[in-house]
Homo-oligomer: A and B are copies of this chain.
């Protein structure tokens, strides 16, 4: 995927922000935070959506795009569509937070409320896309989207040329798949650490099983990585080839990591970002003196998570 990620990197430059890397002084001199939560729209999802939308043919673009998401992917698709000046419809379930829906609309997308859960919304979105001949943009099950997320790897490798390990939260696997594919191609000695909320170890269990299975989940602060995988997801194979180690963290560890980043850096980060931080903290001994990057993937906390953070 190296060529695809390189092409994505060039393609999405006008739409995205190259996010900074900063030392995390709390954790010592060789631990760095990749500040992807400063990305436009508040999360990395803008990268994948921007790449996908930039690759549409003029005919496809003219018809507009469809997505289903109650959160970051919806924001990413809306912003990327707005940047190309095309129409976007974002299907949400009735459980969407009003603030998120307003924000998606403020980026020019049309909101369609369909069903009481994300899966129903997604099925409706896919049906609507098919009927109308519009492109449906998956949040992770699409190599163009994964290549877009991989552009974080391009930046990281240039920002920290001697990187021993990268900690990345795993949901659908698009983020770690893209970043990992880049490093495996250009710096295979860099360890790729997949980080999960123990309450929702979906792709972790699928990788162990060697196939996509139904994984039981408990509620988690890492809202944006929650949810089961599509049965045909391409990210299973991508992730199998790139994730070197697995870390699982408890809800307590996630909350403590959110608080620590708030207190030491004055950043509010999503539970998903804190999963990567907490995983590093769990493993810190192993990485003593080595150069480590932790990807802070987003800052779009729900009001409930904000409340718990205090």
Chain B hits for A103, CB < 8 A: 25
Q: A15 CB to closest chain B CB, in angstroms?
A: 13
Chain B hits for A267, CB < 8 A: 268
When all copies of this chain in the complex are counted, the total is: 2
Contact B266 A299 (CB under 8 A): yes
Task: Scan residues 252-310 of chain A and give those whose CB is less than 8 A from a CB of chain B.
Answer: 262-264, 266-268, 299-301, 303, 306, 310
Chain B hits for A230, CB < 8 A: none
Q: A296 CB to closest chain B CB, in angstroms?
A: 12
Known: A20-B17, A38-B38, A268-B268. A306 touches B106 (CB 8 A): no
| Chain A residues touching B, range | 20 to 34
Q: Chain B: which residue is nearest A262 at the CB level?
A: B268
A22 in the interface (beta carbon within 8 A): yes
A42 in the interface (beta carbon within 8 A): yes
Give the distance in Å from the alpha carbon of A17 to the alpha carbon of B21 in the complex: 11
Q: Chain B: which residue is nearest A106 at the CB level?
A: B25
A102 in the interface (beta carbon within 8 A): yes
22 sample A-B contacts, Cβ–Cβ < 8 Å, listed by A number: A17-B20, A20-B38, A20-B40, A22-B40, A25-B102, A25-B103, A25-B106, A38-B38, A42-B266, A99-B264, A262-B268, A262-B306, A263-B303, A263-B306, A266-B268, A266-B299, A266-B300, A266-B301, A266-B306, A267-B268, A268-B268, A310-B310
Residues in A lying within 8 Å of B, measured CB to CB: 17, 20, 22, 25, 38, 40, 42, 99, 102-103, 106, 262-264, 266-268, 299-301, 303, 306, 310
Q: 9 tightest A-B contacts by CB?
A: A266-B299, A25-B106, A266-B268, A38-B38, A268-B268, A266-B301, A25-B103, A310-B310, A17-B20
